[in-house]
């Protein structure tokens, strides 16, 4: 039996971003939006090639205007149906003249829980302290801002 995934406790760290939102949608609907690659891409703003499978990489092209030239790889870590989904990626990897492949990745985790008539979504991205110092602050800043927008996007998508 797998242990239940739990969010980390230290929300003040510069190593991690934590964002939460309660949406008025059933957990099964939110789960599809998070764990189905096509739906994920629809609200996240990327076109993904393939399905989410544990320990497999899915490649996607950003669809946000001005960023269509950017390709991102998501390495799916763990899938616990209707509760937990995680992947690793290179945060804010938008300079196409730079090779990010040797850099450490951050871990993005989605935690879903029943919340009254809706679903609580908690997103945690951790591992920023391992990102090279030359990119760390900007990657953290951009992703903290980005997750605010993505929570609004997933809320619109599942409503």
Superfamily of domain 16-34+78-158: START domain (3.30.530.20)
- DSSP reduced 3-state for 151: helix
Cα–Cα distance measured from residue 27 to residue 95, given in angstroms and rounded to the nearest whole number:
36
Give domain limits for the chain: 16-34+78-158
User: β-strands 57-62, 71-80: how paired?
Assistant: antiparallel
The C-alpha atoms of residue 38 and residue 51 are separated, in whole angstroms, by 8
In the prediction, which pLDDT does 126 show? 98
Residue-wise pLDDT for 48-73, tens only, equals 999 999 999 999 999 989 889 999 99
| Secondary structure of residue 41 in the 3-state scheme | helix
pLDDT digits (tens, 9 = 90+) for 100-121: 999 999 999 999 999 999 999 9
Would you say residue 5 has pLDDT above 80? no
Question: 40 or 64, which is more confident?
Answer: 40
Task: Please give the C-alpha separations between residue 46 and each of 62, 79, 136, in angstroms, as whole numbers.
Answer: 4, 20, 23
């Amino acid at each position: 039996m797998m242990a239940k995934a739990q969010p980390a406790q230290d929300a003040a760290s510069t190593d991690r971003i934590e964002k939460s939102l309660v949406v008025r949608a059933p957990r099964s609907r939110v789960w599809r939006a998070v764990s189905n690659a096509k739906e994920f891409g629809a609200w996240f703003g990327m076109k993904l090639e393939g399905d989410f499978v544990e320990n497999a990489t899915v490649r996607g092209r950003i669809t946000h205007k001005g960023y269509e030239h950017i390709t991102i790889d998501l390495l799916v870590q763990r899938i616990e149906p209707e509760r937990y989904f995680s992947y690793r990626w290179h945060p804010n990897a938008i300079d196409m003249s730079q090779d990010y492949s040797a850099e450490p990745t951050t871990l993005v985790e989605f935690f879903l829980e029943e919340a009254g008539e809706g679903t609580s979504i908690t997103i945690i991205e951790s591992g920023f302290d391992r990102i090279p110092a030359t990119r760390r602050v900007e990657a953290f800043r951009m992703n903290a801002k980005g997750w605010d927008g993505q929570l609004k996007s997933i809320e619109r998508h599942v409503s």
